[in-house]
């Protein structure tokens, strides 16, 4: 088995390699002067089971091209099987035609990964579960719920916790966490007048005096979380925190979270941490290296991956 990484999230790749007690494969991934991506694998991979760990996060197009070119290099080097390990799958929010004459970019990216040479995909908390069907190769969609549940139990009194879905679309994800800790579920009813902007309309559920923990897959601008936290506190919540799998946290988001009434925002390390998120006192990270590492080990040994979440 070989583990290869691009430049999107080397700290996570190194942590996964340590969990697997496996060195990262010696591989050069660099740019030419005109910013074209150049890849050279310096080890023999013929007949090997190779895993490429690469999040397609910001800069999404550069990191996606690294993934595709690494896969092509491995395919042309006669690797036996290539698994694309995507802790964060970029373009996942473009999973349908949201308006006339718009693309379904998640399907296009899925096709590109397959055509580049990937034989299977391992990813984490897809924005929409049906994206698994966009791939014509085996795809495992892991969930960070077990990691979140363990952290919540370590840091909160679960008897007073109310799990909150920040929108109707995330109810299934939030209910999964709530059922694991035996907590009740509330829902924030919001509307989105335009992309990147949300307005809270109602709180569905009794949150007065409760410690509210919002669960979601992606935090980007942070506007939804900040507005929802204010609405929950106005409804009588004791305090509000959030556990989000992918901390996209685009420009200005970390500062917005830091200045908000959120007690803390906990994100995984599926996306490389920025200086802005490091500086935010109420943003904390938890690692998914063991989750990803165990899934890779089970895939390599042809064991069940879904049993990780039973």
Flag whether pLDDT at 196 surpasses 60: no
In the set 97, 107, 159, 190, the catalytic residue is 190
List the CATH number of the domain containing 66.
3.40.50.2020
Q: Do 132 and 29 fall into the same domain?
A: yes
216 a known binding residue?
Answer: yes
275 a known binding residue?
Answer: no
Check residue 200 and give its pLDDT.
62
Q: Do 174 and 102 fall into the same domain?
A: no
Tell me the C-alpha distance between 196 and 285, whole Å: 23
Confidence of residue 194 (pLDDT cuts 50, 70, 90): low
Q: Do 64 and 38 fall into the same domain?
A: yes
Q: Do 23 and 119 fall into the same domain?
A: yes
Confidence of residue 165 (pLDDT cuts 50, 70, 90): very high
Tell me the C-alpha distance between 13 and 19, whole Å: 10
Q: What is the mean pLDDT of the chain?
A: 94
Domain containing 198: what range? 145-287
Tell me the C-alpha distance between 212 and 226, whole Å: 13
Q: Do 266 and 217 fall into the same domain?
A: yes
H-type helices in the chain, by residue range? 10-20, 60-76, 105-116, 145-155, 171-181, 223-234, 253-258, 275-279, 289-300
127 a known binding residue?
Answer: yes
Residue 232: alpha-carbon gap to chain centroid: 25
Q: Do 43 and 136 fall into the same domain?
A: yes
Q: Do 29 and 94 fall into the same domain?
A: yes
pLDDT tens column, 47-100: 999 999 999 999 999 999 999 999 999 999 999 999 999 999 999 999 999 899
Helix (H) or strand (E) holding 265: strand 264-268
**8 Å CB contact between 4 and 27:** yes
Q: Do 170 and 231 fall into the same domain?
A: yes
Check residue 63 and give its pLDDT.
98
Mean pLDDT of 217-225: 92
220 a known binding residue?
Answer: yes
Q: Do 76 and 116 fall into the same domain?
A: yes
Active site residue 159: no
Number of domains in the chain: 2
Flag whether pLDDT at 263 surpasses 90: yes
Q: Do 19 and 80 fall into the same domain?
A: yes
Mean pLDDT of 95-108: 95
Q: Do 281 and 150 fall into the same domain?
A: yes
**8 Å CB contact between 193 and 199:** yes
- pTM assigned to the model: 0.93
Q: Do 50 and 124 fall into the same domain?
A: yes
């Amino acid at each position: 088995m070989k583990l290869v990484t691009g430049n999107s999230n080397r700290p996570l790749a190194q942590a996964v390699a340590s969990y697997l007690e496996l060195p990262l494969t010696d591989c050069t991934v660099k740019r030419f002067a005109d910013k074209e991506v150049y890849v050279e694998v310096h080890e023999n991979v013929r007949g090997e089971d190779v895993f490429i760990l690469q999040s397609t996060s910001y800069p999404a197009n550069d990191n996606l091209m690294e993934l595709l070119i690494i896969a092509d290099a491995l395919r042309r080097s006669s690797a036996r099987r290539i698994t694309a390990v995507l802790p964060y799958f970029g373009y996942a929010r473009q999973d349908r035609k949201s308006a006339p004459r718009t693309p379904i970019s998640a399907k296009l990216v899925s096709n590109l990964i397959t055509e580049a040479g990937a034989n299977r995909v391992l990813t984490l908390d897809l924005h929409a579960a049906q994206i698994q069907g966009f791939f014509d190769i085996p795809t495992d969609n892991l969930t960070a719920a077990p990691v979140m549940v363990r952290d919540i139990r370590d840091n909160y009194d679960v008897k007073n916790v109310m799990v909150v879905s920040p929108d109707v679309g995330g109810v299934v994800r939030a209910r999964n966490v709530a059922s694991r800790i035996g907590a009740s579920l509330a829902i924030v009813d919001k509307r989105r007048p335009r992309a990147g902007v949300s307005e809270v309309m109602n709180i569905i559920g009794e949150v007065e005096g409760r410690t509210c923990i919002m669960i979601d897959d992606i935090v980007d601008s942070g506007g939804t979380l900040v507005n929802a936290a204010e609405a929950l506190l106005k409804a009588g919540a004791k305090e509000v925190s959030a556990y989000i799998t992918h901390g996209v946290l685009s420009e200005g988001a970390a500062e917005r979270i830091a200045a908000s009434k959120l007690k803390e925002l906990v994100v995984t390390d599926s996306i490389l941490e920025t200086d802005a998120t490091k500086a935010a006192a109420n943003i904390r990270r938890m690692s998914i290296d063991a989750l990803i590492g165990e899934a890779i080990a089970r895939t390599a040994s042809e064991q069940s991956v879904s049993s990780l979440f039973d």
